[in-house]
Amino acid sequence: MTDLNHLEHDLITQVEAAGDEAALETVRVAALGKKGSVSELLKTLGAMSPEERKERGPLINGLRDKVQTAIATKKETLAEAALDVRLAAERVDVTLPVQEGPETRGRIHPISQVIEELTAIFADMGFSVAEGPDIETDYLNFTALNFPEGHPAREMHDTFFLAPDEKGERKVLRTHTSPVQVRTMMSQKPPIRVICPGRTYRHDSDQTHTPMFHQVEGLVIDTEANIAHMKWILEEFCKAFFEVEQVKMRFRPSFFPFTEPSAEVDIQCSRKGGEIRFGEGEDWLEILGCGMVHPNVLRNCGLDPDQYQGFAWGMGIDRIAMLKYGMPDLRPFFEADVRWLNHYG
């Protein structure tokens, strides 16, 4: 075996024997470094005669290429082995039971808790939950709900508009969950008793308004639904939600395009000592809006106003959650701060 074959055999054996990347680097420097055994051989080519260089050149360059390839392959093998060791060491068996402890337990977000609570209260009164898309057509979010063209709510400063769809239909992020009631009236025959919780979006942002907030609206459609039924349902809801035996409510005349007559509803409370308590006191707190469904809306949904009547209401869930939990600011609801969630969860 010639000296080059001997050297190749020795170097490849050393490369194969390298146990980690540091050992492999030592072999690489010893062979291909400035003073490496292969580098020293390459330096001798310069002093050779052309004939000798012609014969030895390809052999020495071939030796260098083989050693470089062997080192590159070994480097890859060692890296994969190191990754396997790390993956085994860091493996988390997600099927194991959670070690109990306050820091590891997940919690239901206060908004989800409130939605569950509202849903249960209305379910006890015969309501089912209806849901719909967050991205709505302009028609279902505004026109079907009797918003005239040019109504300020349609403006960009209030509503998030999206690019029209392939049919040229204008799309919006829904500004209320009312489109869900429209969809329900279009798809099912009365009597209807639904609540529609969900995310809604408006161009608002301050201590008590966030661009995305949660609403729950309700709708009753029947042949004999009237304001007395509406007041009873809302009163029963308030007593159950605010956990009071009796609650005074105040219906203040208001206006919404989709209801006529319309009212904003306050409930009696006391704010002594900075804490809000319900079912007592001389103060009032607005919590929702309501009204008899406008005949135009019934018609837009394919119902005859001479045959069917209905009433509806809407409330901001984040707002009543703040009241119920006594929170001063809405924004922490959406900052996913675990300390905050642990405190209210």
Closer residue to ligand 2U9 in complex, CB, 63/182: 182
Structure tokens at 94: 């997600």
Closer residue to ligand 2U9 in complex, CB, 14/141: 141
Closer residue to ligand 2U9 in complex, CB, 36/316: 316
Contact map string, positions 225 to 264, toward ligand 2U9, x by CB under 6 A: -------------------------------x-xx-----
Binding of residue 183 to ligand 2U9 (CB under 6 A):
no
Contact map string, positions 25 to 54, toward ligand 2U9, x by CB under 6 A: ------------------------------
Task: Select the residue interacting with ligand 2U9 from 220, 230, 238, 312 (CB under 6 A).
Answer: 312
DSSP letters for 82-121: HHHHHHHHH---TTSPPPP-TTT-----HHHHHHHHHHHH
Task: Select the residue interacting with ligand 2U9 from 137, 141, 181, 309 (CB under 6 A).
Answer: 181
CA dist list (Å): 117 to 61, 101, 134, 216? 79, 26, 22, 12
Q: Nearest Cα to 176, choosing from 122, 138, 216, 204?
A: 216
We find the least distance from the C-beta atom of residue 271 to ligand 2U9, in angstroms, to be 20
Q: How far apart are CA 316 and CA 162, in angstroms?
A: 24
Binding of residue 147 to ligand 2U9 (CB under 6 A):
no
Closer residue to ligand 2U9 in complex, CB, 7/241: 241
Angle at 23 (CA atoms; ends 21, 25), nearest 5 degrees: 70
We find the least distance from the C-beta atom of residue 294 to ligand 2U9, in angstroms, to be 7
DSSP state of 134: S
We find the least distance from the C-beta atom of residue 124 to ligand 2U9, in angstroms, to be 21
- How many chain residues interact with ligand 2U9 (CB under 6 A)? 21
Contact map string, positions 188 to 227, toward ligand 2U9, x by CB under 6 A: ---------------------------x-x-x--------
* Full strand arrangement of the beta sheet holding 135-137: 135-137, 171-173, 161-162
Closer residue to ligand 2U9 in complex, CB, 110/291: 291
- For 116, other C-beta atoms within 10 Å of its C-beta total 12
Q: How many CA atoms lie within 13 A of 322 on its CB side?
A: 21
Computed from CA positions of residues 101, 102, 103, 106, in that sequence, does the dihedral angle turn out positive or negative? positive
Binding of residue 110 to ligand 2U9 (CB under 6 A):
no
Q: Nearest Cα to 195, choosing from 325, 322, 318, 317?
A: 317
Binding of residue 315 to ligand 2U9 (CB under 6 A):
yes
Can you state the percent helix, strand and coil of the chain, rounding each to 5? Answer: 45, 20, 35
Binding of residue 314 to ligand 2U9 (CB under 6 A):
yes
Binding of residue 316 to ligand 2U9 (CB under 6 A):
yes
**Contact range with ligand 2U9 by CB under 6 A, out of 28-36, 269-277, 307-315, 328-336:** 307-315
- For 316, other C-beta atoms within 10 Å of its C-beta total 20
Closer residue to ligand 2U9 in complex, CB, 71/196: 196
Q: Label residue 274 left, alpha or beta by phi (over 0 means left) and psi (-120 to 50 means alpha).
A: left
Structure tokens at 10: 């020795």
Q: How far apart are CA 211 and CA 159, in angstroms?
A: 10
Contact map string, positions 276 to 295, toward ligand 2U9, x by CB under 6 A: ------------xxxx-x--
Residues interacting with ligand 2U9, by CB under 6 A? 176, 178, 181-182, 215, 217, 219, 256, 258-259, 288-291, 293, 297, 312-316
